Amino acid sequence: MRFHSIAAAPGEGAALREQMSKLFVDPPVLDERADLVPVLSYTGGVPGTWVTAPEVVAGEAVGGAGVTVYVHGGGFSQSEPALEEVMALRLSQATGRPVFRVDYRLAPEHPYPAAVEDVVAVHRSLVEQGVPAGRILMVGESAGATLALSALLVLAEAGDALPAGAVSVSPVTDFAVAGVHAGDGRDVMTPETMAVIAEHYLAGAPPDQAPQSPVYGDFRGTPPLLVAVGADELLLDDARRLARAVADAGAEVTLDVYEDMPHAFHTAVLLAEGAWPPVARTFLGRLAEWVRRLDCRRIM
């Protein structure tokens, strides 16, 4: 396991919290240069949005650049498509791929395993249409990070061709709440909130089993995983336990802990680029470098 502690500038965490509190008051606008033309017409029957950065050639997805599958957060029950499209653009820029934002089914109307099934269906549809599995990246945030991990476990167990790698930002990994909550009292997320989220999402499914709680899963043979988490997160220990479980299974995992940062700190990249705090550039830079290393392995 590779572990990195990412330092924050003095007061950066508090400043970020203040900036993010205003995000919904003055939401970002998607760059008009972003390409929203569908790269592929079929995504397993699952709706969503294609977003490609202007510097990325969308037509090279099949057999070329590949695809980044973006699984948004929102407590398994909410979606903000306009904000998520901006995030998808940032991910396209960082990963050098067109991004498909998965509009998965939401709880409580569609509890587990509906959303996991949707993410799995998207991955399989891309492979069926000629996108090399080894050029697909799966990126999830918060609840979406959990879904991406769950989908990875389902695909591995079924013997599917797996993506090149997965990125998990601020994941929920254990609905049984067996981990110690290191960031309790410092994070926007609370144990009470987590209990409500779990009730709506699981709807009676066992909280201490995989794939719904990924930390209990078998990660043998899974692709490289990048886990990013804030040091002030309620879910910090969930992320640590996940990284240890993946490493113990013999799979490659990198754990980045961002000091002084809250849950879903990476959403700083939604701000106008001129207003980005240092952590926004750091996160995207580290993501881009991690992806470059994966791509170099494929070439070699």
Rg (alpha carbons) of the chain, rounded to whole number: 18
233 is catalytic: yes
Q: What's the CA gap between 124 and 216, in Å, rounded?
A: 24
72 is catalytic: no
Check 72, 123, 181, 263 and give the catalytic one: 263
Check 92, 142, 150, 168 and give the catalytic one: 142
Q: What's the CA gap between 15 and 48, in Å, rounded?
A: 33
Check 85, 117, 141, 233 and give the catalytic one: 233
263 is catalytic: yes
165, containing H or E segment: strand 165-169
115's CB contacts (< 8 A; 6+ apart) are 76, 104, 105, 106, 107, 147
206's CB contacts (< 8 A; 6+ apart) are 212
| Closest listed residue to residue 224, CA positions, set 173, 164, 162, 168 | 164
Distances (CA, A) of 27 to 23, 74, 84: 5, 16, 11
Q: What's the CA gap between 226 and 259, in Å, rounded?
A: 17
| Closest listed residue to residue 170, CA positions, set 280, 282, 264, 244 | 264
Helical segments of the chain, H only: 12-21, 81-95, 114-128, 143-158, 191-202, 236-248, 278-299
Number of C-beta neighbours around residue 99 at 10 A: 32
Active-site positions read 142, 233, 263
